[in-house]
Amino acid sequence: MNLTDIGWTSFFEEQFLIWKRSGLFPGRVVNSSGYIYQIESELGSFSSKVSGNFKYFVTSQSDYPVVGDWVLLRDAGDLFIIEKVLERKSFFSRSAAGKRSDEQVIVSNIDIMFIVAALDGGRNFTQGGLERYITMVHDGGALPVILLNKCDLCSKDKVEDFVNTAQIVARDIEVIPVSALTGESIDKLRKLLKEGITAAFTGPSGVGKSALINSLVGSTVQKTGEVRSDDKRGRHTTTHKELFFLPDGAMIIDTPGLRELVPYGDVSSLDMTFSEISKAAFNCRFKNCSHRDEPGCAVLRLVEEGEIAYERYSNYMAMKKEIIENERRKSEKWHLEQKAKDKALSKIVKNYYKEHKQ
């Protein structure tokens, strides 16, 4: 398989130039199970694992390969070994679940991220959920597109209402009502999935991500499952990430449903999602206005006047608090790690002098 057929571009070629005479060769991660990675390359498809050197030099879990990554490998005879992950041109990540400050990279090197919601009722379509997904996509640099799946379950007028509601949140992001069951708008998605493009699907369990992928591939490559009748949430039929190749030369990645949606990035990604709030903030009296109770706050004035919906403002403030708190934890973690390194270095120096005095 030619590298360009699986997403290789000048962005990765430039990084590879200094490694061309190293004996390493590039491949793309298309699946992973634990720390075993399935690779596609010019040498074919094979399994691999990271080297001991790789494990020694990584500083966080986010440095390990994920589906979509381009890696450099060496042939170890009975096994192919990953020595390096090339810089990612884009990614989709979140803050690790719980109170940790680690980044969990879910997929990488994607051009389009399809954010899937479902129109079958329950909690699979909420403005707050869309806002969080959009912010996470903005943070990673891919193009967000919102898919409203299962539109066959609603009347045409009801679908239009859903689209209008989603557009309030989406702003300039494209919103497409689709149906994996009837095939509505599947051809429209195919037009977005041009040769060489990598797209991924994200959204809650039960919204039909796997069914959409089966429709695009043209065969059953992913299991689909039932949804609960009370809240329309589904079981995790997709339990891992996997990259599939479409007949027209595009690639798509399915991902498991996410329960906790806390962006890992900084407030700038939030400002892209809530552009009306970030624009209003330029007119606040104080530069460091928190938009809570300061006099002359342009954001609060527009909320009071109804120009900014209170729900939007409330969601913005909640997410901003989470991001700032996570930044604080990241900073504390860095200082603790630095302190531990300094302590270890000090111990080495003391032992050195102790040995040389004897």
Domains assigned to the chain? 3-85 (2.40.50.140), 91-254 (3.40.50.300)
Closest CA to 99 of 322, 314, 339, 320: 322
Q: Is the dihedral of CA 322, 323, 326, 327 positive or negative?
A: negative
Q: What is the mean pLDDT of residues 128-154?
A: 94
pLDDT at 267: 85
Q: Is residue 266 very low, low, confident or very high in pLDDT (cuts 50, 70, 90)?
A: confident
- 149 phi/psi in degrees, rounded to 5: -80, 165
Q: Is residue 335 very low, low, confident or very high in pLDDT (cuts 50, 70, 90)?
A: low
pLDDT at 123: 75
Dump pLDDT digits (tens) for 271-311.
Answer: 999 999 999 999 999 999 999 989 999 999 999 999 999 99
Which residue(s) pair with 247 in the sheet? none
pLDDT at 228: 41
pLDDT at 299: 97
The answer to whether the CB of 74 falls within 8 A of the CB of 46 is: no
Residue 335, CB-side half-sphere exposure with 13 Å CA sphere: 6
pTM, two decimals, is: 0.84
Name 356's Cβ contacts closer than 8 Å, sequence gap at least 6: none
Dump pLDDT digits (tens) for 157-197.
Answer: 999 999 999 999 999 999 999 999 999 999 999 999 999 99
For helices 156-170 and 127-140, what crossing angle results, to 10°? 50
d(CA 235, CA 228): 8
Question: 3-state SS string over the chain?
Answer: CCHHHHCCCHHHHHHHHHHCCCCCEEEEEEEEECCEEEEEECCEEEEEEECHHHHHHCCCHHHCCCCCCEEEEEECCCCEEEEEECCCCCEEEEECCCCCCCEEEEEECCCEEEEEEECCCCCCCCHHHHHHHHHHHHHHCCEEEEEEECHHHCCHHHHHHHHHHHHHHHCCCCEEECCCCCCCCHHHHHHHCCCCCEEEEECCCCCCHHHHHHHHHCCCCCCCCCECCCCCCECCCCCCCEEEECCCCCEEEECCCCCCCCCCCCHHHHHHHCHHHHHHHCCCCCCCCCCCCCCCCHHHHHHHCCCCCHHHHHHHHHHHHHHHHHHHHHHHHHHHHHHHHHHHHHHHHHHHHHHHHC
Q: What is the mean pLDDT of residues 333-353?
A: 59
pLDDT at 256: 85
Dump pLDDT digits (tens) for 220-264.
Answer: 666 654 444 454 444 445 456 899 999 899 999 999 878 778 888
C-beta atoms surrounding 258 within 10 Å: 20
Dump pLDDT digits (tens) for 188-232.
Answer: 999 999 999 999 999 988 899 989 999 998 866 666 544 444 544
Both tokens assigned to 29? 């991660």
Dump pLDDT digits (tens) for 47-102.
Answer: 999 999 999 888 888 999 999 999 999 998 888 999 999 999 999 998 876 656 68
Which of left, alpha, beta for 23 (phi over 0: left; psi -120 to 50: alpha)? left
Q: Is 316 exposed, middle or buried (0-12, 13-18, 19+ CB in 10 A)?
A: buried
Any idea which of 118-122, 220-224, 280-284, 314-318 has the lowest mean pLDDT? 220-224
pLDDT at 239: 53
